[in-house]
């Protein structure tokens, strides 16, 4: 995706920190998420809403303050915004109590005067409106280009009760923050709750929270399970304090004492910073949503609890009804039934497996609502309304090794993860350790961080361990370092091809790697080099060619050149046998790692200068790309079924490995041909990870640098195994290489411009 010209901005109108309210937090999270995902390409300013003249220390992103209690302020603010040519869209956070007038109708004066594209986000959508409320909402609809709601239920109410146009409404769920599942155990230890069942509730305290219900339920729970603590997290709502003081909190404190629960209830009377709040939620086993408002359309507290892996027990507000299904939580039938709460709390305490299942289901299902994914939807809407959708560009995420290091033991990198928790039962594979070895050497060559040499040693040691005396490699080893039966039942040619590739790659970096590592890699190479002649699998031959190419780049051995020619000719023969006018390919089907085939042909050309190899490399690669790129997205071959010649192609079930092998090949083909289309497609392919896919969801975990395992038709598989994570890691390094070149180009351009300015100044 191209850069969006700097200067066209989004203006968000809503309450904003340091004001303490749910909408302010939402506004701040929205701004941060959009900036995190799109950086300078979607600059954001804020118009903060205030209902008094109290001075608040806003951040620099707040350009305007709108005093909401005076009608004349709304038109004046609209006039100021209209004078700004650089504001491309105004995004209004709507809650009836935020704006002055009856049902907040002062907002209409602002909308009537504004001549910018407007998006209005409805946080509350009440059913069965009276005449006045209906007119206001219909007027907001008329004066807005789009309406955003946070749940499907709210959308249905707008359509059915308010007769709003379905085409104007978009559902963007309340954003959530990403936490790591394995932190639950760590945080319980940190807060001394390891042997305790932790219940929790958070949010600005008011009577609507209905905490009494949980306290009455807790009285029954602790009789059977005294190792329970209930955390009531959050300060009293500022508006409640202004009107009533701490009456409600004092009532709850007295009730806690009267029920004999002082040892089981902890009031955390603080407005916690986000990281601390997420820690408390993550260590919680069960979250109690007790709100008594049957029309509460959405709850940020409920969304956050689900995203932190809590087993939720909830009253039936619309948001909970929509979310707590498919064993994602426990939805109660009625409001105010403390017996139902106590019954379900006890059941989840006594059935740990059920509690874990519910929590994991919720944790996985809610991942689609991360703030990153919400930001993508806001960004796309911004692009449409400003007519600059083609110019949007994602911000490159920083390279992180956290998950790779966590997956790596003293013996190698483990194969799979449960979410982000490494799974020792999955054992090790040569495939993953060969990939990891290449990636770490590449990382070292780019950034020269000596600490990663430890991992180069580990992955090379694994390869040494799993190489047979004959020189051939096994692929599968369990956690106890025993070879598994799969080595006898699954063809090992591809794995051995990858091994040759990785060894050749290591040896080609002998000028920068410690000599001892090169000696060990060379020993493994020498043991297998004469065994590769019998390889017949096209992909194994292609991987082997890559290894031979890298080795040849360091040692111009004629025997290596002959081996490359032999394998390239075999691939060429595959092409001649299977290709047709409308099927320019080496096989009668496309399976996995397809890009490796034309890539190997191009490497063969680079060694031999045989133009036939280059010609077929270009023909087959362009044919493959024609199958992969459509409607400005990459859609790789599905793992649900291979794409066979003259058959209908399966979609969905996309895996990172196929996207990244495309990126790797595009990098090579651009380097050889300098064809701009290859570089554009490379950037487009990488944007698949950043949300440019059919679900518009990120395919990586910003918290640990891992990649998710698969993009399905309606969800993302958020397990984070070695293959997918290593693929993303390599793709990031390739993208960073281009970004660094661009930075160098810009720096040189700036330097050149300054020199010109100096010359002009001197001449003057």
- C-alpha distances (whole Å) from 327 to each of 248, 330, 514 are 34, 8, 53
144 near 119, Cβ under 8 Å? yes
Structure tokens at 48: 């903060």
| pLDDT grade for 649, boundaries at 50, 70 and 90 | confident
User: Is the model's pLDDT at 7 over the cut of 70?
Assistant: no
| pLDDT grade for 760, boundaries at 50, 70 and 90 | very low
- Using DSSP bridges, classify how beta strands 169-171 and 716-717 pair: parallel, antiparallel or unpaired: unpaired
Distance CA 47, CA 63 (A): 6
- pTM here is 0.92
Higher pLDDT: 751 or 325? It is 325
- Burial label for 648, CB within 10 Å (0-12, 13-18, 19+), is exposed
User: Is the model's pLDDT at 641 over the cut of 90?
Assistant: no
Residue 181's pLDDT is 95
Distance CA 215, CA 582 (A): 70
Give me the residues paired with residue 87 across strands.
Answer: 9
pLDDT in tens, 548-564: 999 999 999 999 999 99
- Residue 450 is given by DSSP the state G
State the DSSP string of 39-81.
GGGS-EEEEEEESS-------TTEEEEEETT-HHHHHHHHHHH
Average of per-residue pLDDT across 618-643: 90
- Residue 641 is given by DSSP the state S
User: Is the model's pLDDT at 253 over the cut of 80?
Assistant: yes
Average of per-residue pLDDT across 631-646: 82
CA nearest to 300, candidates 334, 274, 325 = 274
CA nearest to 378, candidates 593, 730, 92 = 92
Structure tokens at 752: 């050149």
The proportion of the chain whose per-residue pLDDT surpasses 90, expressed as a percent, equals 86
pLDDT in tens, 271-299: 899 999 999 999 999 999 999 989 888 89
Residue 648's pLDDT is 74
| pLDDT grade for 742, boundaries at 50, 70 and 90 | low
CA nearest to 455, candidates 404, 503, 415, 502 = 404
What 338-341 contacts at long range (C-beta under 8 Å, 24+ apart), as own/partner pairs, is 338/212, 338/213, 338/214, 338/216, 338/217, 338/220, 339/217, 339/220, 341/213, 341/214, 341/217, 341/288, 341/290, 341/313
- Residue 480 is given by DSSP the state T
Q: What is the set of domains in the chain, with CATH numbers? A: 9-171 (3.40.50.2000), 183-369 (3.40.50.2000), 402-737 (1.50.10.10)
Average of per-residue pLDDT across 454-473: 97
Distance CA 731, CA 743 (A): 18
Give me the residues paired with residue 413 across strands.
Answer: 408
Residue 2's pLDDT is 40
Handedness of CA 562, 564, 567, 570 (dihedral sign): negative
CA nearest to 378, candidates 62, 34, 89 = 34
User: Is the model's pLDDT at 34 over the cut of 60?
Assistant: yes
Distance CA 402, CA 675 (A): 35
Q: With left for phi above 0 and alpha for psi between -120 and 50, is residue 141 left, alpha or beta?
A: alpha
Angle between helices 596-608 and 558-578 (to 10 degrees): 130
Average of per-residue pLDDT across 378-400: 91
Residue 759's pLDDT is 36
CA nearest to 14, candidates 30, 3, 36 = 30
213 near 221, Cβ under 8 Å? no
Distance CA 602, CA 367 (A): 40
| pLDDT grade for 3, boundaries at 50, 70 and 90 | very low
| pLDDT grade for 748, boundaries at 50, 70 and 90 | low
538 near 571, Cβ under 8 Å? yes
CA nearest to 497, candidates 533, 470, 523 = 533
Average of per-residue pLDDT across 485-499: 95
Q: Could you give the residue ranges of the DSSP H alpha helices within 536-675?
A: 538-554, 558-578, 596-608, 611-628, 656-673
Handedness of CA 307, 312, 317, 318 (dihedral sign): positive
Virtual CA dihedral for 662, 665, 669, 670, nearest 10 degrees?
A: 60
| pLDDT grade for 4, boundaries at 50, 70 and 90 | very low
pLDDT in tens, 390-433: 878 899 999 999 999 999 999 999 999 999 999 999 999 999 99
Angle at the Cα of 407 from the Cα atoms of 404 and 410, rounded to 5 degrees: 105
Distance CA 272, CA 269 (A): 9
Find all residues with CB under 8 Å of 473, minimum gap 6, and list them. 430, 463, 466, 467, 492, 495, 496, 499, 528
Distance CA 318, CA 152 (A): 9
Distance CA 292, CA 337 (A): 11
Distance CA 695, CA 699 (A): 10
439 near 729, Cβ under 8 Å? yes
pLDDT in tens, 500-529: 999 999 999 999 999 999 999 999 999 999
Residue 207's pLDDT is 92
Virtual CA dihedral for 242, 247, 249, 252, nearest 10 degrees?
A: -160
Distance CA 368, CA 361 (A): 12
Average of per-residue pLDDT across 589-599: 93
Distance CA 486, CA 476 (A): 7
User: Is the model's pLDDT at 216 over the cut of 90?
Assistant: yes
> CB-hemisphere CA count at 13 Å for 218?
33
Residue 337's pLDDT is 94
Check whether the bond before 18 is cis (ω within 30° of 0): yes
Average of per-residue pLDDT across 53-59: 88
Distance CA 333, CA 321 (A): 10
Give me the residues paired with residue 94 across strands.
Answer: 122
What 236-240 contacts at long range (C-beta under 8 Å, 24+ apart), as own/partner pairs, is 236/204, 236/205, 236/206, 236/269, 237/20, 237/21, 237/204, 237/205, 237/206, 238/20, 238/21, 238/204, 240/204, 240/205, 240/206, 240/207
Residue 631's pLDDT is 86
User: What value does the mean pLDDT of the chain take?
Assistant: 93
Angle between helices 722-763 and 656-673 (to 10 degrees): 40
User: Is the model's pLDDT at 764 over the cut of 50?
Assistant: no
């Amino acid at each position: 995706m191209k850069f969006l010209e700097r200067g066209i901005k989004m203006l968000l109108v809503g309450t904003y920190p340091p004001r303490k309210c749910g909408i302010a937090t939402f506004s701040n999270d929205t701004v941060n998420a959009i900036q995190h995902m799109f950086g300078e390409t979607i600059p954001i300013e804020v118009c903060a809403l205030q209902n008094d003249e109290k001075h608040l220390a806003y951040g620099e992103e707040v350009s305007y303050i709108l005093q909401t209690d005076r009608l004349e302020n709304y038109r004046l603010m609209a006039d100021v915004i209209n004078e700004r040519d650089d504001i491309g869209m105004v995004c209004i956070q709507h809650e009836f109590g935020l704006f002055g007038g009856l049902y907040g109708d002062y907002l209409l004066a602002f909308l009537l005067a504004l001549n910018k594209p407007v998006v209005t986000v409805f946080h509350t959508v009440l059913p069965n409106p009276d005449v006045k409320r209906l007119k206001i909402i219909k007027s907001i609809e008329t004066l807005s280009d789009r309406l955003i709601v946070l749940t499907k239920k709210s959308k249905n109410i707008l359509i059915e009760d308010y007769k709003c146009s379905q085409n104007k409404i978009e559902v963007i769920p309340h954003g959530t923050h990403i936490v790591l599942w394995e932190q639950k155990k760590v945080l319980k230890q940190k807060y001394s709750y390891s042997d305790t069942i932790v219940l929790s509730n958070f949010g600005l305290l008011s009577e609507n929270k209905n905490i009494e219900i949980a306290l009455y339920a807790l009285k029954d729970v602790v009789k059977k399970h005294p190792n329970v603590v209930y955390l009531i997290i959050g300060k009293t709502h500022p508006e409640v304090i202004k009107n009533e003081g701490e009456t409600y909190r004092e009532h709850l404190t007295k009730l806690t004492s009267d029920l004999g629960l002082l040892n089981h209830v902890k009031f955390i009377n603080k407005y916690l910073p986000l990281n601390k709040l997420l820690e408390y939620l993550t260590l919680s086993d069960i979250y109690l949503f007790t709100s008594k408002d049957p029309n509460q359309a959405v709850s940020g507290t409920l969304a956050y609890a689900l995203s932190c892996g809590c087993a939720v027990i909830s009253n039936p507000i619309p948001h909970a009804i929509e979310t707590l299904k498919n064993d994602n939580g426990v939805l109660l039938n009625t409001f105010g039934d403390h017996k139902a709460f106590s019954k379900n709390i006890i059941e989840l305490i006594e059935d740990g497996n059920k509690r874990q299942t519910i929590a994991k289901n919720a944790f996985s299902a809610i991942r689609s609502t991360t703030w990153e994914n919400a930001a993508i939807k806001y960004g796309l809407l911004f692009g449409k309304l400003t007519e600059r959708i083609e110019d949007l560009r994602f911000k490159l995420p920083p390279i992180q090794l956290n998950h790779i290091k966590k997956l790596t033991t003293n013996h190698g990198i483990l194969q799979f993860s449960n979410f982000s928790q490494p799974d020792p039962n999955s054992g090790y594979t040569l495939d993953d350790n060969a990939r990891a070895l290449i990636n770490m050497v590449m990382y070292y060559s780019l950034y020269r961080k000596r600490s990663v040499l430890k991992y180069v040693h580990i992955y090379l040691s694994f390869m040494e361990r799993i190489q047979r005396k004959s020189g051939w490699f096994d692929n599968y080893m369990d956690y106890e370092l025993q070879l598994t039966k799969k080595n006898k039942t699954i063809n090992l040619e591809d794995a051995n091809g990858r091994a040759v590739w990785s060894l050749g790659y290591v040896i080609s970096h002998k000028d920068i790697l410690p000599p001892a590592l090169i000696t060990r890699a060379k020993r493994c190479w020498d043991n297998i080099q004469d065994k590769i002649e019998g390889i017949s699998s096209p992909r194994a031959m292609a991987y082997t060619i890559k290894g031979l190419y890298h080795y040849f780049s360091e040692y111009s051995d004629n025997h290596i050149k002959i081996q490359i020619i032999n394998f390239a000719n075999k691939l060429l023969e595959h092409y001649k046998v299977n290709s047709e006018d409308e099927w320019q390919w080496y096989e009668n089907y496309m399976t996995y790692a397809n890009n490796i085939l034309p890539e190997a042909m191009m490497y063969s050309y680079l060694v031999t200068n045989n133009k036939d190899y280059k010609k077929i490399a270009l023909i087959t690669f362009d044919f493959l790309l024609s199958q992969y790129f459509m409607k400005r997205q990459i859609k790789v071959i599905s793992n649900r079924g291979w794409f066979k010649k003259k058959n209908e192609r399966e979609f969905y079930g996309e895996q990172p490995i196929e996207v990244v092998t495309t990126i790797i090949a595009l990098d090579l083909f651009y380097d050889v041909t300098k064809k701009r289309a290859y570089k554009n497609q490379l950037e487009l392919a990488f944007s698949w990870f950043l949300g440019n896919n059919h679900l518009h969801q990120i395919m990586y975990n910003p918290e640990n640098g891992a990649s998710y395992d698969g993009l399905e038709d309606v969800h993302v598989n958020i397990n984070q195994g070695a293959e997918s994570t290593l693929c993303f890691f390599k793709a990031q390094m390739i993208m960073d290489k281009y970004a660094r070149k661009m930075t160098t180009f810009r720096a040189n351009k700036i330097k050149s411009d300054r020199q010109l300015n100096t010359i002009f100044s001197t001449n003057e």
